[in-house]
Chain A
Amino acid sequence: MISHFARSLSLAAATLMLLGCGKSATTEQNASADLVVRIGASAPLTGPQAHLGKDNENGARMATDEANARGIDIGGRKVHFELISEDDQADPKSATIVAQKLADDKVSGVIGHMNSGTSIPAEKIYSDNGIPQISPSATAVAYTAQGFKTAFRVMANDAQQGHVLGEYAAKNLGAKNIAVIDDRTAYGQGLADEFIKAAQANGAQIVAREYTNDKAMDFTAVLTAVKSKKPDLLFYGGMDAQGGPMAKQLKALQLDAKFMTGDGSKTPEFIKLAGAAAEGAYASLPGVPLDKMPGGKAFSGRFVAKYGPIQLYAPYCYDAVNVMIAAMQKAGSADPEKYLAALANISYDGVTARIQFDAKGDLKGGAITVYQVQHGTWQPLYTMAANSAAAH
């Protein structure tokens, strides 16, 4: 009995000591009146897109870690950045819960969400709480079209991307009969719609319009239905978790059509999942290729050394955090009310682009690059200024 009591007592003491140590360590670090600035980040960390979500988190974390190591002054005070990363499961309902939690945590800004379908419902909550939100990768047109002053993005939108892809398919690849499949998310559907507009404007015909969802694995039924329409190109609006298997099943069904998709599938994971069938597939990604950007190569070197290969949006997250910090420095405050105006007028040279926002919060200018899988890697084919498409 006594020994039992003594044991639990010593355990409690040890726990207290541990807690105490942890506490004193953090307070010591911030003891010199360091201002703690919390930045929220949200992406799907579980579910079929978890690999992309983790990549986003890593990109944001690298930016805050580097800023902390560098030592940043805001308004004459030394600042310590704290990243609060939340899982939104790529689910619009969860996204609003996460947004409320981040607002309750009094974050100074939010990097996210990853998907358009989650960024759009969350933005009202951020706007109501006056929290600036920079999405690294939400590309749906609707994201910045709702008129919220707090919503920004560091990537060209789907109207621009769909336009480039549709034109490329019809003009450069000479596709006449195009089949389109999307995953019924805000992103996939939006991109597919814009693609169709541009392809039709350039003389191509849409012979089939089919759908799947962002959790599916089997597309043989839909692809068989598409096969009967004899398309020469298949466009998929959605993420790599579906795009990869779809490209593979396309080949297995001996459907002889080119495969084209958007930024959500332009990943190493797509090539892994599609296997040999990935060869020759086309995809686009906003921005110019990373190694052509000043600082891009150095960034990817540092990132790969720390976290392994870049999946997709990590550089955009990295830029989003840095542009937010730059705005705070310019305004001399991490208070959302004060730095929001500075953010809207910022000009910052990131690793993905020179970041300037237009009145809606969209990235000004920018470019879109079309890639193709050649010998098992994505190779840039051609870069087009997104400006020409921005009018749509």
Chain B
Amino acid sequence: MEILLQQIINGLVQGSIYALVALGYTMVYGILGLINFAHGEVVMVGAMLVLSSLTAMLGWGIPPVLALPVSVMLAITGCMALGYGIERIAYRPLRHAPRLAPLITAIGVSIVLQNLAMMIWGRDYHSFPQLFANTTHSFGGAVINDIQIIIFIMAVAIMAGLMVVVHHTRLGRAMRAIAENQHAAQLMGVDVNRVISITFMLGSAMAAVAGLMVSANYGLAHYYMGFLLGLKAFTAAVLGGIGNLRGAMLGGLLLGLIESLGAGYIGDLSGGFFGSNYQDVFAFLVLIAVLVFRPSGLLGERLAERA
């Protein structure tokens, strides 16, 4: 029983990170119908920026209480600028091109960012400084530490905040309008370019926070970390219904749970025939099953149809 509880905790923590990254994919898809494959790399850049600014500031003798928020703000600003830049340079000129063109550009941007990060930060792993005593809490035989609790609460708060922005602000209304019909929105006086830029910046800001979470949780950052994370988050977004914000959150949490429960029990359930090496296979099997029976994902596809 305590093992089941522990696996659920593992899954929820991992899943909330997936969900946060998945939101970035889904927001862009909802509005532009574009899969921004460079999003995983933005997470990586966010982690790297937090880490290098934090290390620098701690080196100058600035107390962690001040250094952490400042470096997080720096990373968020940096990632927002990066998100804006990616959209402006790589996607906007191709907005009316065939759908394949921006997809290939997205993969190109991802490779460029990865290699740039390798040149700037090197091939080494960077370790995340231990800022405060990370107390471990134990209940019912399962353990969870402070960082994991903070990750979960922060992720939920950010997702709630995003829902408020999308459903209860002028900006959100503009986003939904563009998702429904770009031309009509433009005729109604919505500044399409500006709203799309802001969408990218919002997604990138969340990516920066996700980057912080990943590197704080695992205690490391590496130029390659964005690739697999991006792939998993994209899967989560498709699982929930790409373009659908609630779907991304549900998909992320679900994927985290499927992975941890799958890896934890598949060996025992199959009598040792399948091992935990099938962890990823398991997650993708669920994805295929969902897509076969519900091609538009668990909660349906586009942002606007649900809003």
A residues in contact (CB < 8 Å) with B: 45-48, 50-51, 53-54, 184, 209-213, 215-218, 220-222, 224-225, 227-228, 241, 244-245, 248-249, 252-254, 269, 272-273, 275-276
Chain B residue nearest in CB terms to A217: B218
Name the residue among B10, B14, B214, B259 with the largest chain A CB count within 10 angstroms.
B10
Quick check: A217 and B260 within 8 Å, CB to CB?
A: no
Q: Is the CB of B277 within 8 A of A212?
A: yes
With an 8 A cutoff between CB atoms, is B191 at the interface?
Answer: no
Q: Is the CB of A221 within 8 A of B259?
A: yes
Q: A224-B7, A269-B125, A275-B130 are in contact. Are A245 and B218 (CB under 8 A)?
A: yes
Closest-by-CB residue of A relative to B262 is A221
Closest chain B residue to A47 by CB distance? B224
| A/B interface sample: 8 pairs, CB < 8 A | A210-B267, A210-B275, A211-B276, A220-B14, A222-B279, A225-B264, A245-B220, A269-B124
Q: Is the CB of B118 within 8 A of A46?
A: yes
Closest chain A CB from B120 CB (angstroms): 14
Interface membership of B6, Cβ < 8 A? yes
What are the residues of chain B within 8 A of A227 when measuring CB–CB? 3, 6
A179 to chain B, nearest CB (A): 12
A170 to B69, CA, bound (A): 48
**Contacts A50-B118, A212-B277, A221-B263 given; does A241 touch B125 at CB 8 Å:** yes
Q: Which residues of A contact B130 (CB under 8 A)?
A: 275-276
Binary A-proximity of B1-20 (CB < 8 A = 1, otherwise 0): 00100110011011000000
What CA separation (Å) do A253 and B13 show in the bound complex? Answer: 14
Q: Is the CB of A220 within 8 A of B10?
A: yes
- In the assembled complex, the Cα of A252 lies from the Cα of B151 at a distance in Å of 15
- 4 additional A-B residue pairs with CB within 8 Å, beyond A220-B14, A221-B260: A46-B123, A209-B275, A217-B225, A273-B127
B218 touches A50 (CB 8 A): no
Q: Which residue of B lies closest to A248 (CB)?
A: B219
Say whether A254 contacts B3, CB under 8 Å: no
B6 to chain A: which residues have CB within 8 Å?
224, 227, 253
Q: Which residues of B contact A222 (CB under 8 A)?
A: 263-264, 276, 279
Q: Measured between C-beta atoms, what is the minimum distance from B284 to chain A in Å?
A: 13
A245 touches which one: B118, B219, B228 (CB < 8 A)? B219
Task: Please report which residues of chain B, range 88-130, place their CB below 8 angstroms from some CB of chain A when the two chains form the complex.
Answer: 115, 118, 122-125, 127, 130
**A residues near B270, Cβ cutoff 8 Å:** none
B219 touches A211 (CB 8 A): no
User: Bound state CA distance, A269 and B219, in angstroms?
Assistant: 12
A residues less than 8 Å from B10 (CB atoms): 220-221, 224
Structural contact, B124 and A51, CB atoms closer than 8 A: yes
B143 within 8 A of A: yes
Interface residues on B, range: 35 or more
Residues of B within 8 A of A273 (CB): 125, 127, 219-220
Among B3, B13, B125, B138, residue most surrounded by chain A Cβ atoms (within 10 Å): B125
Cα A53 to Cα B122 with chains together (Å) = 12
CB of A221, distance to nearest CB on chain B (Å): 4
B contact residues around A209 at 8 Å (CB) = 275
Tell me if B's interface is mostly helix, strand, loop or mixed.
helix
A213→B115 CA distance, assembly (Å): 23
Q: Which residues of A contact B276 (CB under 8 A)?
A: 210-212, 221-222, 225
| C-alpha spacing A255/B130, complex, angstroms | 21
Q: Once the chains are docked, how many angstroms separate the CA of A210 from the CA of B265? A: 11
Contact pick for B125, options A53, A212, A272, CB 8 Å: A272
With both beta carbons as reference points, the residue of chain B lying nearest to A277 in the complex is identified as B219
A-chain residues with CB within 8 Å of residue B3 when the two chains form the complex: 224-225, 227-228
In the docked arrangement, what's the CA distance between A217 and B215, Å?
Answer: 10
Distance, CA A241 to CA B228, complexed state (A): 14
A221–B136 alpha-carbon span in the complex (Å): 17
Q: Does B267 contact A54, Cβ atoms closer than 8 Å? A: no
CB of B263 within 8 A of CB of A244, answer: no
Indicate if the CB atoms of A220 and B260 lie closer than 8 Å.
yes
Q: Which residue of A lies closest to B220 (CB)?
A: A273
Measured between beta carbons, the chain A residues less than 8 angstroms from B305 are: none
Query: Please, which residues of chain A bring their CB within 8 A of the CB of B263?
Result: 221-222, 225
Interface pair A215/B228, CB less than 8 Å apart: yes
Q: How far is the CA of A150 from the CA of B151 in the complex (A)?
A: 53
Decide if A213 touches B280 in the complex (CB within 8 Å): yes
Report if B222 contacts A (CB, 8 A).
Answer: yes
A240 to B52, CA, bound (A): 22
- Residue B193 at the chain A interface, CB threshold 8 Å: no
Q: Which of A51, A211, A275 contacts B277 (CB 8 A)?
A: A211
Rounded to whole angstroms, the CA-CA distance of A212 and B118 in the bound complex is: 25
Q: Tell me the bound Cα distance from A276 to B133 in angstroms.
A: 12
A252 touches B125 (CB 8 A): no
Interface pairs A-B: 8 shortest CB-CB: A211-B277, A50-B123, A221-B263, A221-B260, A220-B10, A225-B264, A51-B123, A210-B276
| Choice from B143, B220, B225, B279 contacting A253 with Cβ under 8 Å | B143
CA distance A21 to B80 in the complex (A): 44
- Tell me the complex Cα distance, A220–B143, Å: 11
For A225, the chain B residues whose CB sits under 8 A away are 3, 7, 263-265, 267-268, 276
The closest CB in chain A to the CB of B148 belongs to A252
With the chains together, A358 CA to B201 CA distance in Å? Answer: 61
**Which residues of A lie under 8 Å from residue B225 when comparing CB positions?**
217
- Complex Cα distance, B225 from A48, in Å, reads 8
Q: Which of B13, B143, B265, B275 contacts A254 (CB 8 A)?
A: B143
| Chain A residues, Cβ within 8 Å of B115 | 46
Interface residues of B in 255-287 (CB under 8 A from A): 259-265, 267-268, 275-277, 279-280
Within B202-235, the residues touching A (CB, 8 Å) are 214, 218-220, 222-225, 228
B281: min CB distance to chain A, Å: 11
Residues of A within 8 A of B267 (CB): 210, 225
Is B145 an interface position by the 8 A CB rule? yes
Chain A residues near B262: list those with CB within 8 A: 221
Whether B277 pairs with A48 at a CB distance below 8 angstroms is: no
Which residues of chain A are within 8 angstroms of B127 by Cβ–Cβ distance? 272-273, 275
- Closest residue of A by beta carbon distance from B279: A221
Report the bound CA distance from A252 to B138 in whole Å: 11
Instruction: Assess whether B222 is in contact with A48, with CB atoms less than 8 Å apart.
Output: yes
Cα A213 to Cα B280 with chains together (Å) = 10
Bound form: Cα–Cα A220–B214 in Å: 14
Determine whether the beta carbon of A244 is less than 8 Å from that of B123. Answer: no
